[in-house]
Chain A
């Protein structure tokens, strides 16, 4: 199929519409027994017209077709240690470090050192676990936000929210990033599902931070725009526990 040489030049040229030649139809055109009528055609998804192209697509997915150039190997760098104080992991590839950092040090709660998979879950955690104003407001209105991205439902209690997650969003009842906040004594009113140390993640708890962390400064404290930060950290609302970076873990089991 020889293409006129000027075609490539036209492609590279300016946008433009051809001035149409005059249209002049004879009523006999397309008359019986003839039946041609110029018309656009659309094909729905399952039409057999698409068979060949679909097969090509799936061969590609199954990775049989393409000869792809080998990607250069993951660059190795001289060994280095994680910079977060107290963490002793060593790496020789940046991607490994990236994953480690984000898993262990990324979305870490500066109060209780729990790590979370996303900023969204961390925010929710801080709000519900470490913000006294939240507790007060929660007595009067629905404050417990659904954890599913895009769902704007709010609930009166952690338990109600869990029920919503299970029934409406088909989440597992033991979803690990929705542990109920354990009560801390008479001052706290809401969601006292269990009484106990809420600073001590139990064995099997997800997202516990490296225990070497516990004593030392955990690194740059997270700046979060929640109510709690307008209150100087020296003031507690009678919760009876100190804030900050002191370790309160009794059992610090490494997972």
Chain B
């Protein structure tokens, strides 16, 4: 996983409260960005160990003259160590946005850097690549786009054999990809997709994680469904991605997270999901889900929700594909262990990341909607009651829980038999006391089904002051018709 590197230099003396505050600010900024469809994040690769060895994190702004001197030394210096030191100094200066601005405006600076990148001196190459990486991470478009002359080389080096170097090139490319459509319009003809397809065969985990990152950035692009995903689907990348998501001892969390998100971006773009199904995506993801359900019971605080989330999304969207239904060609997802696993994950979400509960319940809906088998599993595995316990979490969650219960109830009396008598009716009476229209509306739907298939339930409803509970919603526009219908049914059968 993202281990020895940190995205940002850790501020000294930063208290827990301050960290929380910064996190809330970041979260708010990200939400805003997403609503504006501008959700862009870059990854910065900085080796902390090296940073500390270099004597702390003081970042100096370099002036024109200094930059020129460092470049000159790096290029023409006699002593190898001297050239290296010059580049290191430049790299450290480039951590500062102002230095970056000065650098890109200096004539020939990028050209020199590219020259050093393609030199035969391994350490100079690495430092030059690190300089480019700093630039690629900038939020200023002009700075990031200044790296464009280097992209053909970055791509070429993806088929080299030095994994540290490849990793750096990949993260730099990933940052550039996300910068603008103009950048991608250059990278695509330069062959980024075939280059990634070749590179994904590397056995090195750090390389794979970096590649997953770069690919996820590419797939997240606005124009991806039309311009990028078709060629990705036409390459060998999907097979390799599914391979890397196979559960088992070789599954690496950091790598899997990146590729699960790649798969999510591909699938939710709905370009050719049938192809993925024929390549075994449903089977792989289903098995992975089971593996994760087992894992969350074993380990704490491992960041597993980062992987569970995209897996749940992929499965849920894939289930809606027509190809998922056909026998023979595609594999059915019918194993009831998936339901068991999903509930364990729902519990995990409840504890660790409640905001992901809706996504888990969405998957449960897609599993149960058209499947008598899975609805039966909910009953036979005693999962109705745990489901009811989720009703107090939030309105969104409540609506989804009620929807799943409706999925069960609508299948007829054999199913409703297990819903009433039981905890369901008193719980529904509680939800009727709420004011959220959608929650109440869904409760009314469930009540109709219950009354229809279990006439005794209507009686019990009356006896438990059901009519009064209904009364409060008599005037609500979206609810009144259904309220009246239920009142009639309860009173007159």
A residues at B contact (CB < 8 Å): 1-4, 6-8, 10-13, 15-26, 28-30, 32-46, 48-71, 73-74, 95-96, 98-100, 102-104, 106, 115, 117-121, 148-151, 168-172, 175-177, 204, 206-210, 255
A10-B381, A21-B411, A34-B444 given as contacts; is B317 within 8 A of A43 (CB)? Answer: yes
Mind listing 28 A-B residue pairs with CB under 8 Å?
A1-B386, A4-B386, A8-B340, A10-B336, A23-B411, A34-B485, A39-B369, A42-B316, A45-B269, A48-B35, A51-B34, A56-B309, A56-B356, A58-B30, A61-B7, A61-B213, A66-B303, A68-B303, A70-B4, A99-B126, A99-B165, A103-B165, A117-B157, A118-B157, A119-B159, A151-B194, A169-B189, A206-B118
Do B162 and A148 touch (CB < 8 A)?
A: no
Which residues of chain B come closer than 8 Å to A53, judged between CB atoms?
Answer: 309-310, 313, 355-356, 359
Write the chain B residue with the least CB distance to A32: B481
Across the interface, A35 reaches (CB within 8 A) one of B42, B153, B445, namely B445
- Whole-angstrom distance between the alpha carbons of A26 and B340 in the complex? 30
- Whole-angstrom distance between the alpha carbons of A173 and B452 in the complex? 76
Q: How many residues of B contact A (CB 8 A)?
A: 133
Which residues of chain A come closer than 8 Å to B379, judged between CB atoms?
Answer: 21
Write the chain A residue with the least CB distance to B359: A53
Which of A16, A28, A61, A63 has most chain B Cβ within 10 Å?
A61
B305 contacts the other chain (CB 8 A): yes
Do B334 and A40 touch (CB < 8 A)?
A: no
Which residues of chain B come closer than 8 Å to A66, judged between CB atoms?
Answer: 1-2, 303, 306
Do B22 and A64 touch (CB < 8 A)?
A: yes
Do B482 and A34 touch (CB < 8 A)?
A: yes
Which residues of chain B come closer than 8 Å to A10, judged between CB atoms?
Answer: 336-337, 340, 381
Write the chain B residue with the least CB distance to A104: B120
B residues at A contact (CB < 8 Å): 1-8, 22-23, 26-27, 30-31, 34-35, 37, 39, 41-44, 49, 115, 118-123, 125-126, 149, 152-153, 156-157, 159-165, 186, 189-191, 193-195, 197-198, 213, 225, 257, 261, 265, 268-270, 290, 293-294, 297, 301, 303, 305-306, 309-310, 313, 316-317, 319-320, 334-337, 340-341, 343-344, 346-347, 350, 353, 355-356, 358-359, 362, 365-366, 368-377, 379-383, 385-386, 389-390, 406-407, 410-415, 442, 444-446, 448-449, 452-453, 481-482, 485
Write the chain A residue with the least CB distance to B199: A149
Across the interface, A8 reaches (CB within 8 A) one of B162, B297, B365, namely B297
Across the interface, A2 reaches (CB within 8 A) one of B163, B257, B356, B389, namely B389
Which residues of chain B come closer than 8 Å to A37, judged between CB atoms?
Answer: 410
A70-B4, A99-B126 given as contacts; is B376 within 8 A of A21 (CB)? Answer: yes
> B423 to chain A: closest CB distance in Å?
12
Do A16 and B164 touch (CB < 8 A)?
A: no
Do A7 and B26 touch (CB < 8 A)?
A: no
- Whole-angstrom distance between the alpha carbons of A148 and B445 in the complex? 60
- Whole-angstrom distance between the alpha carbons of A65 and B162 in the complex? 30
Do A11 and B340 touch (CB < 8 A)?
A: yes
Do B356 and A20 touch (CB < 8 A)?
A: no
Write the chain A residue with the least CB distance to B349: A1
- Whole-angstrom distance between the alpha carbons of A60 and B444 in the complex? 40
Interface SS of A by simple majority: loop
Across the interface, A55 reaches (CB within 8 A) one of B31, B265, B389, B446, namely B31
Across the interface, B347 reaches (CB within 8 A) one of A1, A19, A175, namely A1
A62-B26, A64-B7 given as contacts; is B346 within 8 A of A1 (CB)? Answer: yes
Do B448 and A29 touch (CB < 8 A)?
A: yes
Across the interface, A204 reaches (CB within 8 A) one of B34, B115, B301, B410, namely B115
Q: Closest 3 interchain pairs by CB? A: A63-B7, A150-B194, A33-B481
Do A150 and B126 touch (CB < 8 A)?
A: no
Write the chain B residue with the least CB distance to A209: B120
Which residues of chain A come closer than 8 Å to B156, judged between CB atoms?
Answer: 117-118, 121, 177
Across the interface, B309 reaches (CB within 8 A) one of A3, A11, A28, A57, namely A57
Do A26 and B453 touch (CB < 8 A)?
A: yes
Do A18 and B374 touch (CB < 8 A)?
A: yes
Which residues of chain A come closer than 8 Å to B22, judged between CB atoms?
Answer: 64
Do A150 and B382 touch (CB < 8 A)?
A: no
> B265 to chain A: closest CB distance in Å?
7
Which residues of chain B come closer than 8 Å to A50, judged between CB atoms?
Answer: 268, 313, 359
A7-B340, A36-B445 given as contacts; is B195 within 8 A of A149 (CB)? Answer: yes
Given contacts A118-B159, A209-B120, 15 further A-B contacts (CB under 8 A): A1-B350, A2-B385, A2-B386, A20-B373, A24-B414, A49-B359, A52-B356, A64-B8, A65-B303, A69-B3, A100-B123, A102-B160, A103-B122, A121-B156, A255-B120
> A93 to chain B: closest CB distance in Å?
10
Write the chain B residue with the least CB distance to A72: B4
Which residues of chain B come closer than 8 Å to A151, judged between CB atoms?
Answer: 191, 194
A55-B30, A66-B2 given as contacts; is B389 within 8 A of A29 (CB)? Answer: no
Do A40 and B319 touch (CB < 8 A)?
A: yes
Across the interface, A149 reaches (CB within 8 A) one of B159, B189, B257, B290, namely B159
- Whole-angstrom distance between the alpha carbons of A108 and B381 in the complex? 64
